[in-house]
């Protein structure tokens, strides 16, 4: 399989590229400097020259998403687009399913929902995969571990609510789920490993896994069930990598 990946150097994109190469696929990273997101003609030339089987669109740019959706549809290229649980607001009531109606109240969620609309408008058979908060292994990118390090540096503690159930998964499991979406019919899917863990439990378990390097303060000041449930896209549960003991 030949795959083009946008956002290939990002938190999820870099791991996705590793997974694709590990299974023997040819991976072409979309170079924004050579092919700017707003240049539709250049994008067409790039896709025609490389002609991938799949385009994994992980980057964030509304105009670019519209162009990619149109071009991949026109050229017969399979499109996988990653969205976010943030298309749902804190005023909605989780856990969410593919049938839940999004009502974003933050700019990022509104942007991603508009991009979902462009994908559905222009491409006849896209896979849209909504992601939660990613759990990496180290700071330096947009993931939960990086958040912990920043919270410790700024506040000396990680405040973790026992009443918040975040949508989240480990990066490796997320990348594998994105690839597995190709085996599913076109549609919108949810990629979430959290079955029943609160943020307090997740924080404590990660702290144990990483040698108790953080000061975790358990609170109850934020109550929200953000989990996503999707019977067609089952990720390994958090308990496969974490322990509460």
pLDDT at 245: 67
User: How far from the centroid of its chain's Cα atoms is residue 239's Cα?
Assistant: 20
**pLDDT above 90: percentage of residues in the chain:** 95
pLDDT at position 110 over 70? yes
- Residue range 61-88, pLDDT digits in tens: 999 999 999 999 999 999 999 999 999 9
- 110's tokens: 């509104």
3-state secondary structure of 30: coil
Nearest-CA neighbor of 244 among 200, 213, 207, 205? 205
pLDDT at 117: 98
3-state secondary structure of 4: strand
Average pLDDT, the chain: 96
- Residue range 23-34, pLDDT digits in tens: 999 999 999 999
Which domains are delineated in the chain?
2-133+167-191 (3.40.50.720), 137-166+194-225+236-240 (no CATH)
pLDDT at position 51 over 90? yes
- Residue range 169-186, pLDDT digits in tens: 999 999 999 999 999 999
Task: Give 123-142 as a DSSP string.
Answer: -SS-EEEEE-EEE-SSSSSS
**pLDDT above 70: percentage of residues in the chain:** 100
- 86's tokens: 């943030």
pLDDT at position 89 over 90? no
Q: What is the mean pLDDT of residues 35-61?
A: 97
């Amino acid at each position: 399989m030949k795959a083009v990946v946008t956002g290939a150097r990002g938190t999820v994109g870099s791991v996705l590229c590793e997974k694709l190469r590990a299974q023997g696929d040819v991976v072409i990273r979309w170079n924004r400097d050579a092919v700017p997101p707003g240049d539709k003609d250049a994008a067409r030339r790039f896709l025609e020259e490389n002609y991938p089987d799949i385009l994994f669109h992980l980057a964030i740019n509304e105009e670019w998403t519209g162009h990619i959706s149109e071009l991949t549809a026109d050229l017969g290229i399979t499109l996988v687009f990653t969205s976010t649980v943030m298309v749902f607001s804190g005023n909605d009531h989780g856990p969410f399913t593919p049938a839940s109606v999004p009502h974003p109240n933050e700019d990022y969620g509104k942007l991603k929902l508009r991009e979902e609309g462009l994908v559905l408008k222009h491409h006849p058979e896209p896979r849209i995969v909504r992601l939660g908060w990613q759990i990496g292994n180290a700071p330096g990118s947009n993931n939960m571990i990086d958040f912990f390090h920043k919270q410790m540096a700024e506040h000396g503690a990680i405040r973790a609510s026992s009443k918040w159930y975040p949508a989240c998964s480990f990066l490796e499991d997320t990348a594998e789920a994105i690839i597995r979406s190709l085996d599913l019919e076109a549609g919108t899917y949810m990629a979430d490993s959290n079955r029943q863990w609160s943020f307090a439990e997740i924080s404590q378990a990660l702290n144990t896994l990483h040698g108790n390097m953080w000061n975790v303060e358990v609170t109850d000041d934020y109550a929200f069930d953000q989990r996503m449930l999707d019977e067609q896209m089952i990720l390994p549960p958090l308990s496969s990598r974490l322990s509460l003991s």
